[in-house]
Structure 1
Amino acid sequence: MALPWALAVLSLLPLLDAQSPACPNFSVPITNASMDQISGKWFYIASAYRLPEYKKEASEIHAAFFYFTPNHTEDTILLRQYMTMGDQCIYISSSLEVHGENATLTKSENDTEDFGHLLLPKDPKTFILASFPEDKQKMGLSFFADKPEATPEQMQQFYDYLTCMGMDKSEVMYSDEKKNLCLLLEKQHDEERKKEDERSKTGTALD
């Protein structure tokens, strides 16, 4: 009796595989091309974390966007991050280390090192960072897009990865662009950088 049952299960495997979401590959190396792909401005869209401290921090972020500026020579990425938490905008400038062969980005802060596996879905206007993907108790995913609101198709990519890792949509926390309080600070920083560029070009100090 066991053999017919086993054959029936095996006959369903191709069908099940075709319907299940493609699991992310956490070992794809980070190259200069992939660093260039994530260069520029990005918006935090959603995340799901099981590690309590990550989950708590994510729950306090109403909206966030940031800029990635890769440095291929030093294998680093300059991170300029704008986060709306509570009723204030928090700006942080820091550096991420790129570990190409390990496919991870790391950030050192207060004697701790946070890391994320870089995942590049089919849509190049999105990317995902995964934390502790091998640990069911700590795992997490963060989803980013080049616009403050993701399309249904882009969100489905995130949900597919989430499902494949064994997480549930009920664990997802979403950003709310309507609560973004950092636009004025971003504008101020843009104006300051323009003045710096003008100084460097003319070699004279501007008021």
Structure 2
Amino acid sequence: MLATLTLLLGLPLALTTETPTCSPLIPVTFDNGTIPRLLGKWFYIIGASKYPPHLEEIKVVKYAGFILSPGSHEDELDVVEVMRVNETCVTRNSSKIQVFRENSTLMHVDNNVTATAKLIQSDKDLLILNYSSDNFPGLSLSARTPNVSKEHLEEFRAQLHCLGFTEEEIFLTSEQYACPLPVEKTDEGDTES
């Protein structure tokens, strides 16, 4: 009886110390509400990439925010990005996101450099993108506010580890390095120093 009681009491503890299983990344199937949900301000929080050009960029970005607005075509979004690279705030408003509804894919085009990503199912105030650039994995988390809950951050870090990223390959931005975001669809071309 004592052995059975000990086993029952110890079972929950044993179950909680198991290595968590990696949940699959489930892409969003685009519908009429997908693109409107993406419009507006977002703040880049954390990401990792094995793709050398992306890796070099995320290593030096201390803060990033962006605004998505309707483009000149139905399946196009305009992007205004504001980021602190080293000690300088830079604004870029020349990039576009192409929307491929048939395979639920987004392609970011900036100065002839492209990145393809799938939007991953998540909380409505989170934007998780699963990149596939030349078979190099990448994953990023952006949010409607410059901060996310500790739980969301821990879940995202766990997912990065499941994908094989080490702590040294994960880069987190900080609100302490914030650059002002322009008002949506105005002040295009401004650069803050």
| TM-score of Structure 1 vs Structure 2, range by shorter chain | 0.7 to 0.9
Q: Is the 8 A contact 1:23 1:165 kept in 2?
A: no
Q: Report matched runs for 1:1-207 at 5 Å.
A: 19-26=20-27, 28-70=28-70, 74-93=74-93, 94-121=95-122, 123-132=123-132, 135=135, 138-180=136-178, 182-183=179-180, 186=181, 189-190=182-183, 193=186
Structure 1 residue ranges without an equivalent (≥5):
1-14, 195-207
- 1:47 and 1:143 in contact (8 A); partners too: yes
Alpha-carbon distance change, 24 to 89 in structure 1, aligned in 2, over 3 angstroms: same
> Structure 1, residues 166-197: CA drift from partner, whole Å, max 9, x if none?
334442100011112x22xx3xx439949xxx
> Aligned equivalents of 2:177 and 2:77: distance in 1?
27
Alpha-carbon offset, residue 53 of structure 1: 1.5
- Report if aligned partners of 2:38, 2:68 keep a CA contact under 8 Å in 1: yes
Q: Alpha-carbon deviation of 1:72?
A: 9.9
Distance 1:45 1:174, change over 3 A: same
Q: Which has the larger share of strand? A: 2
Structure 1 distance, partners of 2:70, 2:26, is 22
Greater shift in the superposed pair: 53-62 or 167-176: 167-176
The structural deviation recorded for 1:140 is 0.9
Give RMSD over aligned pairs.
Answer: 3.0
TM-score (normalised: structure 1): 0.71
Deviations 1:81-131 (Å, cap 9, x if unpaired)? 11111221111112211011222211223333221211131x211111111
The unaligned stretches of length 5 or more in structure 2 are 1-14, 188-193
Deviations 1:10-37 (A, max 9, x none): xxxxx9xxx52321124x4222312222
Question: What is the alpha-carbon distance in structure 1 between the residues aligned to residue 70 and residue 29 of structure 2?
Answer: 16
Q: Match for residue 3 of structure 2?
A: none
Distance in 1 (alpha carbons) for counterparts of 2:71 and 2:63: 27
| Structure-1 separation of matches of 2:125 and 2:143 | 6
Superimposed CA distance per residue, residues 47-87 of structure 1 (whole angstroms, 9 cap, x where no aligned partner) = 11111221111011110111112459611112111111122
Q: Percent identity?
A: 26
- C-alpha distance in 2 between matches for 1:149 and 1:22: 23
The separation in 1 between residues aligned to 2:106 and 2:150, in whole angstroms, is 27
Separation of aligned partners in 2, 1:127 and 1:89: 23
TM-score, with structure 2 as normaliser: 0.75
The count of aligned residue pairs is 171
The alpha-carbon distance between structure 1 residues 133 and 80, as it changes in their structure 2 partners (threshold 3 A), is closer
Greater share of helix residues, 1 or 2?
Answer: 1
SS of the counterpart of 1:147? coil
CA contact (8 A) 2:51 2:137 kept: yes
Contact 1:116–1:131 (8 Å) recurs in 2:
yes
Aligned-partner SS, 2:106: strand
Which one has a bigger Cα radius of gyration?
1
Instruction: Note closer, same or farther for the CA distance 1:90–1:134 as it changes in structure 2 (3 Å cut).
Output: closer
**Distance of aligned partners of 1:108 and 1:150 in 2 relative to their CA distance in 1, 3 Å threshold:** same
